[in-house]
Every structure is written in C-alpha cells, then in structure tokens.
Amino acid sequence: MRRHLVFIALAWAFFIPLAFGQEGKEVKSGGYTLERFETGVFGPEVQAKLEKISQLRQQQIKRLEELAAQPNYPNKAEIYFRLAEAYWEESLYQFLKKTRQYEEAMEKFEKGILTVKPEEPKEDYSVSIEYYRKVLREFPNYERIDEVIYHLGKAALKEGKTKRDSLLRKEGVEYLKRLEKEFPKSKYIADAYLALGEYYFEANSLIYAKQYYEKIIADFPKSPMFNYALYKLAWVYFNLRDFDKAIQTFQRVVSFVSSGTGKGVVEFREQALNDLVVTYAEIDDGWIHAKDYFLKVLPEDQAYKKLKMLGELYVAQDKDDLAIALYRHFIEKEKTGEQVPQYYRTILNIYKKLNDIKHLDATVMEALDFFKPNGTWRTVVSQKSPEAVQEADILCEEFLHWIANYYHKEAQRLNSNEFYEKALEKYRVYLSRFENSKNAYHVNFYYAEILYDKKKDFEKAAEQYKKVIERDTKGEYVEDAALGVIYCYEEMLAAAGLRERAKKGKIEVVKVDPKAQNKPIPETELHPLEKEYVAAADKYVSLLQELLKDPEVKKKNPERGQKIPEVMFIAAEVFYRHGQFKEAVKRLKVLFEYDPSSEFAAYGVFTMLDCYQRLKQWPKVEEWARKLIEAKNFKIKSKAELEKIVAIAVTENARLLSEERKYSDAIKEAMRVYEEFKKDEKTASKALFNVAALYEAQKNIDMAVKTYLRVVKEFPKSDVAPEALFTIALIYESQTQFEKAADYFEQLEKFKDYSETPAALQNAGLIREALGDYAGAIDVYRKFIKMFPKHNDTPMIDLRIGVIYQEKMGQAGLQKAHLQFTQWLKTYKGDNPLVVEALTRDGAVLKASDRKKNRNAATELFQNALKAFSRLSNPDDIGKAKKFAAQSAFEIADYAFDDFSAIKIPSTLDTAVLKKALTAKAEAQQKAEKLFEQVLQYKSGGWSAGALFKIGLLYYGFAKELNDVPIPENLDPQTQIEYQAILDEIAKPVWDKALKAFERALKLAHDERVYNEFSKACGEYVAKVNPDGYPVAGDELVNSVHTKDTLASTSFIRTLRRGDIEVKFVEEKSK
C-alpha cells in the first residue's frame, strides 16, 4: 500500500497577493507545498535508491498487467488496486526525476549555457485514476472500497490540479464527499477532510475550508493532521482578514508543537512563528504586540530576529511609518550596536523612497552626529568591529552626497536660490568630513559650479576648479575644470569692463558693432587680467595635450580635447580686440587651413563671415560658407544651415543689385538660388517669389504675374503660395482690373490658414459691391462666415449682407434685409456697437417697408437700439454706435412728427373747438420737439442736422397751417380781416421759432460741415421763412450733393483690402 508523505513545514512569502474570501481569487498561505517538499528531498542519493525501486516496480507492474489480462483471474479487484498504487508511485517518481532534470536545465539556461528554454514537466496520474475507477466500477463491494474511494478522490484532485481540469477536481471532491457520507468511520476520513479543506482553501471557498479544518480539530485531536489543520485554519482567518483570530490560532499552533521534538516539529513551529510575523504586519502597531509575544515564547535574541523580519516586511509592504518606528526602536535599544548603521540605512532609504527630503536631510545630519569621530558609538564599536565603522562612514558619505546632489539638481530644475544654498552647505560639510574620499573630486567640481553659476564668486570658483585639477590632472572633470578657470577669468574681465560677458560654456564669435565697424581699433597691450585669461587658456591646452599623449584616453573618450581649437581661438579673439590683427587674422586663417573639418575652423570662418556680412560683401559670405560645405564642416552649422547661408548671401546680393536698379542681374542671382535649391521647397519657393517681386519692381507686370503664378503652381503648399496669389490680386487691383482682382482674392479661400485670407475675402466682397455685383458680394461674404465663424470681423461681415439688401436691392430687398437682421440679432449677443446698428437698421427696414403697419415693431427695435447703446462703456464702441443710436432716436421722433402732422386745425368760429385743436397740435409739437432734442445728445452730425431741421419744420408746419386755415363762411369782410389777423397773431411767434430753429440747424451744418439732405432742405426752408435774410437756397455748402461718392475710386477700393468693410461713407461723412 502507498505510504503518504505528511509535510507540515511551510515557508511564508511576502509577495503572494491577499484574497478576501472571494471565490476565484488567490488566497495567501504559508506558500510551502507538499510537492515542493518532495522535490526538495529528492537528492542524488534518494534518486539512486528510488531508481532501483522503480525498476522493480516496473517489473511488478508488468506482472500485474499480465494477471489483469487473464479473463478468469479470481482476485482482479486486488490486482487493479495494486496496479493503481504502483502506477501512482511510478508516475510520482518519474515526475520528481523530470523535475530535477528541469531544474538543472533551467540553471544552465539562466547562465546562458543552454539557448532553448526547457519545458516544465507536469504530473500525470491518469492511468492510476483509471484503475481506481475500474475497482469502483467493477467491484463496488471490494473490502477496501473506502480506501479506493479515498485514493480515487485524492488522485482526481491532484490530477485535476496539475491539468487545471476543474471537472476532474470536482469529481475528486464528489468521491471524498461520498467517502464522508458512506464510510464515516473509515480510517481515511480525516485524510479526506484534509484534502477537502485544502481543495476549498485553494479555491478560496474559505467558509467550506474552515468547516473541514474545524472538523479535523474537533473530531481528530490526536490525528497527525491536527496541528496542520489548526495551522491552515489560521490562514483561513488571515484571508478572511480576521487577523486577531489568525494570531490567536497561530499562537495555539506554536503552543501545541512547542513540546514536540524532531526536525518536522521544529520546522513547523518555526513556520508558525514566521507566519505570525506576517500576520502582525497586518494590524495596527503590530510590532509592539509582536515584541511582547515573541519575548514571552522566545529568547530575546530570537525574538528580535522575528522583529527584524517584521521590519523587513514593513519595508517590503511600504508600511513606512511602522517601519521607521520599529527601526528607531532598534537604534534606541542597541545604541552602540554594530547593526545601527544598517538601521539608519533602512530609515534613510524609506525617506528617500518617499522623497521626504525634510526628514531625510534631518536624519542624515543626525547620523553624521551619531557616527561622528570621537563620538560614543564610534569609540565603542571601533574596538570590536572596524567593519561597522566603515559601514557607518559609507552610509553617511553616501546619503550626504545624495542629499547634496538632490538639492543641486532641484536648484537647477527650479532655479531656486534656497536649494543652491542648501547644496553649497552640504558640499561644504562633505568636504570637511570626507575630504580624502574619491568623491571629493566631484564635490569640488560641483561646489565650483554653484560658486560660478549662482554665487558669482568667480575668484573662489576658480580656486575650486584649480583644486579639481590638483586632485587629478587626468580626471573626469579636468577639462571642464580647466575651462571653468577660463570662464572665471572671463567673468572677471567682464566685471572690470575689459570684455563683453559671454554665455558660459560657449566661446563667443566676435560680433562687430555696426556703428563702430569702420572705426579703427588701435594696437594696445593686454591688460594683466587678460594675460591671466590667456594663461588659463594656455594651461587648458597644455593639460589636454599632455593627457592626449596616452592613446587610451582618446580611445575611451573620443571627445577629449575637442575644445583645444576653441580655446586657441580665445587667444586670437584677444589679439583681435587689441588691434593686433596680424596675429589674429593669421590665427583665424590657420585655424581653417590646419583642420577645415574642426569646430574651431568653423568659428574662425564664422568670424570672417560676420565681418563680410557687415561689409555687405555677400559674394565673400557665399565663398566661405561654400568652403565649410566642401570641407564637410558641420560642427556649428549643419549642411542645410550653411546652404541656407549661401542662399541668403545670394539673395542679399540680388537685393543690393535691385537697389542699384540692376534688375536683370538681380533676377539672375535669385534664379540661381531657385535652380540650386529646387528640392528645398521653402528656399526655392521664396527664391521664385523674389524673382516675381523683382519683375514687379522692374515694372514687368506680365512676367511678375506669370512668375507669381509659377510659385502657386510649383509650390502650392509653400508659405509664399497664398502670398503670391494675394500679390497678384493687389497688382490687378492697382491696375483697376477689379474683376480679376476679386477673382484672385477669392482664390485665397483655398488657403484658410493664411493670415491675409480673411482680408482677401473681404476685399473680394467689397470690390464686387463696388462693381454692383451684390449677389456675388453676398456669396463671398457667406464664404467668409462659413470659413471663419470665430473671426473678429464675422459679425460685421454678416451684418454687411443685410446692409446690401437694405441699401442696394431696392424695395424687394427690404424683406430679405429684415430676415437677415433678425437672424443676425439671434446669432450675435452682447453689448457692442454692431448690435445697436443691427437693431437700428432692422427698424429702418420695417419703417421703409410699411411706415404705418410696422410702427410698433419698428419703434420697439429703435428703443432696443437705444437701450443697447446705453449699456456701452468703451469710448471707441460709443463712437462707432452713436450715429445709429442717433438714427434710432430720430426715427422715434419722426413717428411723433407724423402724429403732429396728422392733427389739423379746423375752420370754425367755435372757440372751444379751435382751442382744443390748437392745444392738441401744440402738445404734439412739443412732444415731437422734445424727442428731436434728444437726438442731439448723441452728437452725430448728420442726424443732429436732421433733428434740428425737423424741429424747424414742426414750427414751420404749425405756422403755415395757422396761416392756411380757411376763414369760416358767412363772415362779413371786416370780421374776416379780424379773424385772419387773430390767426396771424397766433402764427407770428411760431414763425419766429421756426426761423430760429432753421438758423440753428444751418449753423450746425456750417460749423460741423454737415452736408446732407437735411442741411440742403434747411437752406431751402430758411429762405422761405426769411427770403430777404437768406437768399442762399442753392448754396453748395448746404447742398447734399456736396458729398463725394468715392465708391468707384481706385484709392477707395484699395483701402478696403485693409479690412475696412464700410462701402458707403455718405451718411457719416460728417461728424
């Protein structure tokens, strides 16, 4: 019969994910399985013994198979049972053997000895299971049927687990439950409970697992599985997150097995203690409870081993506050212990991980003080463990260096003076404590960098840079340090006013002051600081030349010494500034000839280019740029950039030629750029555009237009393609070929992103208006609105469509105008001048359509216009809107004028009737006059003139109607004369007021130079009232035709392309 291996020592693992009693999720457990144990004890010696047993077993299987094959063999149930056992044990042995081979192969694969990853073996108990099934199927009354059911259930569970066959595992569960039901007294019932408990535990059905473990504990207290069941019950509680019960249960396990002996018992107890560590990690202040418990059941040293395990677990689980508290406890307990540096390292690493710089900084300084020379800890520990002292120094240096670098990096990132100060302080402490460390070399350099960059203490910075050189003339930063010395002296020169300050890290090319480029530079001696400056350059060169004698230096770092030529350039630059041109120029030319491909050669050339550029010797600029290209020297400028310089030089030469009116030569130069850089769309398109511009300047308009069209055709996606179209449109506009101009302006709709496209479409629309193509203008404006719905001019353009309908399409256009204005007012909201205009125009359209029928609607629009105007606060907005506000006020008053005119004075002798009529007429006159007076407050000249004229017309009409009242019939002549005299007497002051009103209007027309229909009419009426005093009815100063219609003028249309959309200036020609 197969013997069972019962293994109870399990290891805990940190990174198995927790489950919370939800089926399908992985649960956390000790993590040590029976299979792992079996594999672990399967060593070479065991394998050799088991191999012999395997050979005998295989022979036994063969004989058993032969017996089973005999039809009439009397005891087949026993044969099948033994075959099931034999196959089980053989399958297990073969699996263990293959597993060992797999582990050896994986080790070789991980070391790179094997290139193909080996395949992990799998257990296969299918033959054994089938024989168990045969027994159960064919011999259900077999005397050991309970054992068969147990093994079949256990085998199905194992096989199902291996093959991840859930149906097979469920079959195993059914067998075990059958055993539980049919054979409750079987000796395998406890084993069945354990198997079922394990199955449900692994399936995360923790409640069921709990029931089976508790059955073993309750019913089989003396079973070998008791302690293991108790142990797994603790893990059930753990996964149910009932950590207090888990702790109590683990403590029971420890208590039960503590009196036992033997390797397995000791391992089991140790495992339970370890699992307690894991569980204590899950409760608040667990380490305090753990400390109390472990000190009760373990010697102090072993108890603290467990606490340290807990500390490691805290760290692994990111329970940082608990970890810090626990390690602080270790430090406090072991004040002179050798492991204190390790404790500090753990705490510092946590703060570092959390990026808790404040506490990290404080703890670093605390550690520096704790481990200081001649301190208590160092004095005690140095005698017994020099290694611990060394570890403490390494710790302090490492974290001090890190925190200093952190402050330095953050200072650079944030440009924070506070962080720079902290970095400086940490570097200072570092150099005072670890002056002889190899890292002091780097710290000296970083210290120098901050002194240079931020403190601007160039003298001290130079000292630090020199210390870097002194520490190691062949070190990593020797070149940068040597350059740093140069930069420091450069800054000191700048501070002394001897040199312009250059950007650190870059040798500046000489830039000649354009105002002083023709001014002679006298030859002078070098200043002492300049001599030091040159000496620093010489030092750099000597250091690097010596360093580069070792070929390995260049091999390891090919960039070493690349700045030697640049630094050599410094000397030439100094000579240049002192007028020692012979030496300076000789060096510049030698730089290029010495190594045309080097960076310093490029600097030399660019200095010369700068000079030639300022001298406007563009052919020389082209020549030297081409020399760099031929030398393939792209150290400073890429080939494309140098070619661009060539193109710029040729283009600028063409410009100079054009200024000299040598257009043919200029065109040849520009075409040379086009031909040479045809593949470069940006350069070639601009060159061709320049050719077109030169033709335009040459007045060769036909070739200019053709060439601009070539730009559009050959480079349709270039930046200058829309500019070319725009220019063609301007050319045609200037030639008064307005139809063509409009067409080309409209073509810019293909270039929505071009900045002038909105203006171009506006120009096209305005030109079409000027040409009388109002439908075409409206189409263009609608395109504008569709393309640029968010453009600032869109509301104005949209409103313009209504204006065209209103002003250009006669009576038929009024309805469309009304619809356009109505939609406009729904679309555009807010307080702005256009709203005032739209409301006014809409009201005017309704009034013009049907004065009487639309009076209420029109009046409401006029009133809303005035309300909208009153909400304006910006002076510019008020200025733009005031004429429309004035018009709305005028139109409202004009309706009052209609009311006044409608009242007639009757011919009657009934004084009551006459008085009533006169009173009504006077009140209507006063109401209308008041409303017209309100127009004046808007100070819009044209409408003010109209209002004053209408006031005069009110009095004029009143007086004239008085004069024209028919004399009642049946009056004698004398009474008729008296009746007429009374009317004349009433009319006389009215005529005077009419004259004054007309004079007031006429004065406004002259003072404000208002020339419109109202001023003209005013002149006519004032002459009627006082023909002797004003015989000037035809004076052109008050004639409305005095206004010039600029609609068809070329200059007017040109102004439109600048974005002004107002076509008709007649209405507001006056102020």
Two structure tokens written together for 671: 């075409």
Average pLDDT over all residues of the chain: 83
Rounded to the nearest angstrom, the gap between the alpha carbon of residue 980 and the centroid of all alpha carbons in its chain is 91
Residue 162 φ/ψ, nearest 5 degrees: -65, -45
Q: 698-715 in b/e burial notation, b at 16+ Cβ within 10 A?
A: bebeebbbebbebbbeeb
In this model, does residue 22 exceed pLDDT 60?
A: no
The Cα 80–Cα 52 span in angstroms is 23
- pLDDT tens for 591-624 read 677 578 777 777 777 777 776 776 677 888 888 7
Give the pLDDT score at 370. 93
Alpha helices, H only, 417-550: 417-433, 440-450, 458-471, 478-495, 528-547
For residue 478, count CB atoms less than 10 angstroms from its CB and return exposed for 0-12, middle for 13-18, buried for 19 or more. buried
Distance CA 788, CA 43 (A): 83
Residue 1066 pLDDT > 50? no
The structure tokens 């009095």 sit at 955
* SS3 of residue 191 by DSSP: helix
Q: How confident is the model at residue 486 (pLDDT cuts 50, 70, 90)?
A: confident
How high is the pLDDT of residue 618?
85
> Is the four-CA dihedral 148, 151, 156, 159 of positive or negative sign?
negative
CB-side neighbour CA atoms (13 Å) of 964: 7
Angle at alpha carbon of residue 1018, lines to 1016 and 1023, rounded to 5°:
105
Q: What is the pLDDT of residue 5?
A: 28
CB atoms within 10 A of CB 259: 8
User: If you average pLDDT over residues 53-64, what whole number do you get?
Assistant: 91
Query: What's this model's pTM, rounded to 2 decimal places?
Result: 0.49
pLDDT at 566 over 60: yes
Q: If you average pLDDT over residues 515-537, what whole number do you get?
A: 76
User: With 90 as the cut, is the pLDDT of residue 389 above it?
Assistant: yes
Q: What does the alpha-carbon distance between residue 508 and residue 233 come to, in Å, rounded to a whole number?
A: 78
Written as one letter, the residue type at 733 is E
In this prediction, residue 592 carries a pLDDT of 74
pLDDT value at residue 1071 = 35
Q: State pLDDT tens for residues 115-130.
A: 899 998 888 888 988 8
pLDDT by residue (tens digit) across 877-890? 999 999 999 999 99
Count of CB atoms situated within 10 Å of the CB of 723:
21
Q: What's the mean pLDDT in 475-499?
A: 87
Overall fold of domain 635-867: 1.25.40
Nearest to 556 by CA among 435, 641, 474: 474
pLDDT at 24: 46
Q: How far apart are CA 349 and CA 399, in angstroms?
A: 9
Torsion of the alpha carbons at 849, 851, 856 and 857, rounded to the nearest 10: 10
Quick: pLDDT tens for 216-234. 999 998 888 888 899 999 9
User: Per-residue pLDDT for 1058 more than 70?
Assistant: no
Residues 6+ apart with CB under 8 A from 85: 1, 2, 128, 151
Taking the C-alpha atoms of residue 621 and residue 629, their distance in angstroms, rounded to an integer, is 12
pLDDT at 735 over 70: yes
Residue 119 CB neighbour total at 10 angstroms: 9
pLDDT single digits (tens) 942-968:
898 888 888 988 888 888 887 777 777
How far apart, in whole angstroms, are the C-alpha atoms of residue 835 and residue 818?
14
Task: Report pLDDT for 980.
Answer: 74
Report, as an integer, the average pLDDT of 236-255. 92
On the question of pLDDT at 60 being above 70, the answer is yes
pLDDT, position 511: 42
Among residues 327, 349, 352, the alpha carbon closest in space to that of 337 is found at: 327
How far is CA 15 from its chain centroid? Answer: 36
User: In this predicted model, what pLDDT tens digit does every residue of 798-854 receive, in sequence order?
Assistant: 999 999 998 888 888 899 999 999 999 999 988 899 999 999 999 999 999 999 999
**pLDDT score at 46:** 75
How many separate helices (H) and strands (E) can be counted in the chain? 46, 0
Band of the pLDDT at 4, cuts 50, 70, 90?
Answer: very low
Percent above pLDDT 90 for the chain: 39
Which residues have CB under 8 Å from 589's CB, separation 6+?
604
Q: d(Cα 590, Cα 576) in Å, to the nearest integer?
A: 15
pLDDT at 666 over 50: yes
In angstroms, what CA-CA distances link 451 with 422, 447, 459, 973?
A: 13, 6, 9, 120
Q: What is the pLDDT of residue 501?
A: 65
Q: Check whether 725 has a pLDDT greater than 80.
A: yes
| pLDDT exceeds 80 at position 1037 | no
Rounded to an integer, what is the distance from CA 211 to the centroid of its chain? 57
pLDDT of residue 918: 87
Question: Which of the residue ranges 2-6, 824-828, 879-883, 979-983 would you say has the lowest mean pLDDT?
Answer: 2-6
pLDDT at 324 over 90: yes
Q: Per the structure block, which two tokens stand in for 302?
A: 């072993």
Quick one: what percent of the chain has pLDDT higher than 70?
89
pLDDT of residue 671: 87
Lowest mean pLDDT among 297-311, 481-495, 519-533: 519-533
| Domain ranges within the chain, ordered by starting residue | 334-437, 440-501+521-562, 635-867, 903-1038
Tokens standing for 461? 């910075």
Cα–Cα distance list, 1015 to 885, 894, 1033, 1034, 1064 (Å): 20, 17, 10, 11, 19
Average pLDDT over residues 574-580: 80
